[in-house]
A and B are shown apart, each in its own frame.
Chain A
Amino acid sequence: MSSLDELYRAVLLDHYTRPRNRGVVEGDGSAVDLRNPSCGDTIHLTLRLDEAGRIAEVRFLGQGCSISQASASIMTEAVKGKPAAEAVALAERFKAMLRGEAELAPEDGDLAALEGVRQFPVRVKCATLAWNALEKALATATGGRAEGAEG
């Protein structure tokens, strides 16, 4: 498989063309807008936690390259239903994977579709945009309690 095919895996392209959880969670006070100023990728992320502190709903809107948009879609599927602290831990593990400092676990599922990004350092910031938005939204939603927790 060429490194290009490795980057643009079928799963990634599938999330790009048919993004999951696109939209807005109404009434979310922790909505986050992030952009990569150098390339113009944008994300608007909203979410809702249930009483138990689990991510009951998470949705995104945005514009950008296939990597940034697929990563957002994959992220929403991966964290939905997870406790906030676990989602933050997953975000950290995902970012460490992109830095080449960690490997994904088998249960991380579609996240593996983004492993190919590692070979293209200029695209790493595209893949992390949605995850940075998630961490920021969770920090607001939990009043900072989800930060640094281990899942």
Chain B
Amino acid sequence: MSMELDVRRIREDFPILRRQVNGRPLVYLDSAATSQKPEAVLAAVDRYYRETNANVHRAIHTLGEQATEAYERARARVARFVGAGDPRGLIFVRNTTEAINLVAWGWARQNLKPGDEILLTEMEHHSNIVPWQLVARETGASLVYVRLTPDGELDWADFKAKLGRRTRIVAVAHVSNVLGTVNPVDAICSEAHRAGAVVLVDGAQSVPHMPVDVGAIGCDFLAFSGHKMLGPMGIGALWGRPEILEGTEPLFGGGEMIAEVFPDHSTWNELPWKFEAGTPNVAGAIGLEAAVEYLEGLGMEAVAAHERELSRYAYERLERVEGLRIYGPRPPEKSHAGVVTFNLLSVHPHDLSMILDQRAVAVRAGHHCAQPLMRWLDVPSTARASFYVYTLPEEIDILAEALEEAREYFSHVLLG
């Protein structure tokens, strides 16, 4: 396994990267929102519909059998990708949001009572806040937030102070989608377990970008989305320790998730199918398997190293753009994923993003579904550039030049 990615070669696998936007080659720096898809994933989905399409777990005929086999093989492959030997713990869902909701409604609602605490952090995405607010309202449990250091890292002392006998669950992002902070989830898990709490790791921004092993981390739940890791939209996964999942209630009732149905009650199917009511996204699962295969071919260590290097370079280059304020822990001294968030003087990120778009540079602008974190940063919104396996350092140069142009463009406003 090579430790360096051949990015030019990789780019040839992504048809969308041949696109022009506003007459220039696309510079796609929004992979934290969704990644682009390689031919291998597109072909796997296409092949499934052309050659194998049938409903799973129902039909006795050949196609039904092949579709079921392909779906379950995808499950085992995706489970192995996150270090889970037992595929029974891997539940296919639509996305990270659905995975977290499954834990909130299926596990937390059954297990929390008034006085219990749900421990979150100030850097969570709305999808790891709002489900807990709903469940807290339902159960009488309360929400507690771990503070951040001025650098945008978790305040470890505050975490230790807030983790207590009342803490039943800790729900934490592995990597912040705004600050790029990489949280010490393994240490969080051992502390939490010592306090008797379970841990859900939001892996939306980590599973696509670095080696993630549920055994090494020691978490109880891991949630992630396929579309951020080269896979199709509409497929994601919740991994849970099978012992905990046995005691977790299904989120949806319907076909496939039952063992026996009587007029007044039903019994549930075994793991993982008790959580997969109705016809699942078979093509999505197969596409995700192809994405996992592609990433494994590159090597996740190499992917992580590539993005670390891009972050380091982005900081170095963007710090030279006059008037640019960059947020989050500074690489390489601090560990930082492939996400760089910034504001240019007083230019609103939407205005900035629009000017960058004229240069075919796609960045995210807004609150990034992290309004509590925006309040912590004391800004209404920010712009964010995020990188992936197909990102070239030259694209960071183009971003920097476009930012300099934007500053020129708005100079009469900013100086006026």
Interface residues in chain A, defined as those with a beta carbon under 8 Å from any beta carbon in chain B = 2-4, 7-8, 13, 16-18, 38-40, 42, 63-67, 120, 123, 126
Q: Does B265 contact A (CB under 8 A)?
A: no
Bound Cα distance from A2 to B367, whole angstroms? 29
Give a binary string over B316-358; 1 marks a CB under 8 Å from any A CB, 0 the rest: 0000000000000000000000000000000011110011001
Judged by DSSP, the binding face of B is helix
Q: Does B380 contact A (CB under 8 A)?
A: yes
Q: Can you list 27 contacts pairing A with B, beta carbon distance less than 8 Å?
A: A2-B358, A4-B355, A4-B358, A8-B409, A13-B413, A13-B416, A17-B413, A18-B416, A38-B366, A39-B350, A39-B365, A39-B381, A40-B366, A40-B367, A40-B371, A42-B380, A64-B380, A65-B349, A65-B350, A66-B348, A66-B351, A66-B413, A67-B350, A67-B351, A123-B350, A123-B354, A126-B350
Bound Cα distance from A126 to B381, whole angstroms? 15
Closest to A16 in B: B413
Instruction: Give the number of residues in B that approach A within 8 Å (Cβ atoms).
Output: 18
Cβ–Cβ < 8 Å partners of A64 in chain B: 348, 350, 380
Most buried by B among A7, A16, A18, A40: A40
Q: Does B18 contact A (CB under 8 A)?
A: no
Query: With contacts defined as CB atoms under 8 Å apart, how many contacts are there between chain A and chain B in the complex?
Result: 46
Bound Cα distance from A57 to B355, whole angstroms? 35
Bound Cα distance from A42 to B412, whole angstroms? 24
Cβ–Cβ < 8 Å partners of A42 in chain B: 380
- Assess whether B350 is in contact with A13, with CB atoms less than 8 Å apart: no
Cβ–Cβ < 8 Å partners of B367 in chain A: 39-40
Cβ–Cβ < 8 Å partners of B416 in chain A: 13, 17-18
Q: Which residues of B376-416 are within 8 A (CB) of A?
A: 380-381, 409, 412-413, 416
Bound Cα distance from A38 to B328, whole angstroms? 23
18 new A-B pairs (CB below 8 Å) besides A4-B358, A39-B366, A65-B349?
Answer: A4-B354, A4-B409, A8-B409, A13-B412, A13-B413, A13-B416, A17-B416, A38-B366, A39-B381, A40-B366, A40-B374, A42-B380, A63-B380, A64-B380, A66-B348, A66-B413, A67-B351, A123-B350
